[in-house]
Homo-oligomer: A and B are copies of this chain.
Amino acid sequence: MYRSHNCGELRISNLEQEVSLSGWVQKVRDKGFFIWIDLRDRYGITQLILDKERSSNEIFDLGKTIGREYVINVKGLVIERSSKNPKIKTGEIEVLVSELVILNSSKTPPFTIEDQTDGGEELRMKYRYLDIRRPVLKNNLILRHKITQEVRKYLSDKMFLEIETPYLIKSTPEGARDFVVPSRMNGGEFYALPQSPQTFKQLLMVAGLDKYFQIVKCFRDEDLRADRQPEFTQIDCEMSFVNQDDVLNSFEGLIKHLFSSIKNINLDKFPRMSYDEAIKNYGTDKPDLRYEMKFIELNDVTQHKDFNIFNSAELVVGFVVKSGNSFSRKDLDKYTDWVKRPQIGASGLVYMRVQDDGTYKSSVDKFYDESDLKQWANISDAKAGDILFILCGDSENVRKQLGALRVHVADNLNLKDPELFTPLWVVDFPLLEWDEESNSYHAMHHPFTSPKSEHIKLIDSDPSAVRADAYDLVLNGNEIGGGSIRIHDKKIQQKMFDCLGFSKEEAEKQFGFLMNAFEYGAPPHGGIAFGLDRIVALMGGQEIIRDFIAFPKNNSGRDIMIDSPSTISDEQMKELQLKSTKK
């Protein structure tokens, strides 16, 4: 038997027991007559002691050969420590070793196995099996396990069925790029890996299964941005005989349950905000509500003077930074430079300080007098000590720019408390968005999203005005889930494909099976999919998903630990009837 207890288990109540432990050597302190070893496993650390008087010579000498990360098995007696360590649960005892077996030795690890490690990102990924030994990463994976268990328990109790959908499906070059899988048995043909089980979950609704969920890997062959993974995990859900409210209420329940069961946080009813409101007030469809800085439109109170820049702008809009009057001249220059960077693209930043004595000072004092500025302060509710930031330009761009500035200010002022959680439903998304490049409409969510029934008549006459029964769940400025009520009527689905520029043949080839299914009694249905990686990271108090995935890929889509992707044999290429055209 390798162990009677784990390394986090022994207490003062175990005193005088003979125990057996196995684990990794965290630290050795060789004091000549004594050797102390910190033995670590998943559950904790227990201190071992080898003692020149009380241990056999053989054991003691063997103890001297042991290094960091060796795997050992010991037997010994639980004794009370002379100097206790209140920081760890086993801190009152130690184990006096009577038997010692080295199960495996270890080279010196390339970085320290501690929460604060000296290993860089690439090195840690190459030796991921060592990285995961660090408590912080281990705990991330345990958190992930707990969350998925709770998701399953909750949904299962609500009569949802977890049903596996296939991974080898069909390529539909709509949306993101598919990963494809050549078929050897059907030469020249390919499967695709799912970007999501969207059509399958809809078919399960047609099949009458009513309430479906699945925690499932999805795949997107995208050029990777900083925190994207080519394979990622969704909590994928669908329900029949529901409207938007039913779906929102059901999954608000799920998220609340996760927070209460795992973090002991009771979230209030989630606020709901229309897409238009979100854009108008925060310049983004995923506003972070942990902090204020709501937008104030200032056209009425700014366009009556000789300041042509404001006068000629479609929109003059700003927000108040509480206590922002403390910004120095240099701070303000930095913010001005920041909004003028090409990534943001504003032409400049106007500000108005409300000084501690209640007087005003702005960067446009030349054009506006005290009474103008007082009006700005009134309308924006800027108080003594605050600052008002203002941008102007065409509405769409200036809102985006101001939205970015809002997040940037929050970053600088440490307003993003990782332990504060502000969920928000954003609803009533546009059905379509205009794509300049292809000069055509794209589906804002996906082509299966249902327009609001009262807007169906607008699809031909005013497509961009059509709103959909589509919704996102936003948490702390991150979209953690999104979904919609789906089209269940073949004619409307056909209209949607037309509108998106699919030819009859393309629609038939790619989605014929779904259109067919709609002819055999498709129920009204809708659903949602959550990004599990993101939810786990946020609940873990972080925004980077990589450290919440056991074996992530790097930014070039490589697994540098196993060195993949890699070339395959000529034999394999021949069997697949493929040739590389890479030069």
Contact = CB atoms under 8 A, between A and B. Distances in A.
Interface of A: 2-3, 22, 24, 40-43, 69-71, 73, 103-107, 109, 127-133, 138, 141-142, 144-145, 148-149, 152-153, 156, 161-171, 173, 177-193, 199-200, 203-204, 206-210, 217, 219, 221, 223-224, 230-231, 233, 240-243, 488-489, 512-513, 517-524, 549-551, 553, 556-559, 561-569, 571-572, 574-582
Copies of this chain present in the complex amount to: 2
Contact of A185 (B217, B521, B557): B557
Contacts of A182: 180, 182
Contacts of A42: 208-210
A2 B242 contact: yes
Contact of A179 (B69, B133, B181, B565): B181
Contacts of A521: 24, 69-71, 104-106
A171 B572 contact: yes
A170 B580 contact: no
Contact of A231 (B107, B166, B565, B581): B166
Contacts of A163: 141, 144-145, 550
B184 A221 contact: yes
A163 B140 CA distance: 11
A489 B523 contact: no
Most B Cβ at <10 Å: residue of A180, A521, A576: A521
Nearest to A567: B189
A203 B104 contact: no
A129 B576 contact: no
Contact of A581 (B145, B148, B161, B579): B579
A107 B520 contact: yes
Closest 8 CB pairs of A and B: A132-B207, A2-B241, A106-B521, A170-B564, A189-B565, A188-B582, A183-B565, A69-B521
A578 B577 contact: no
Nearest to A166: B551
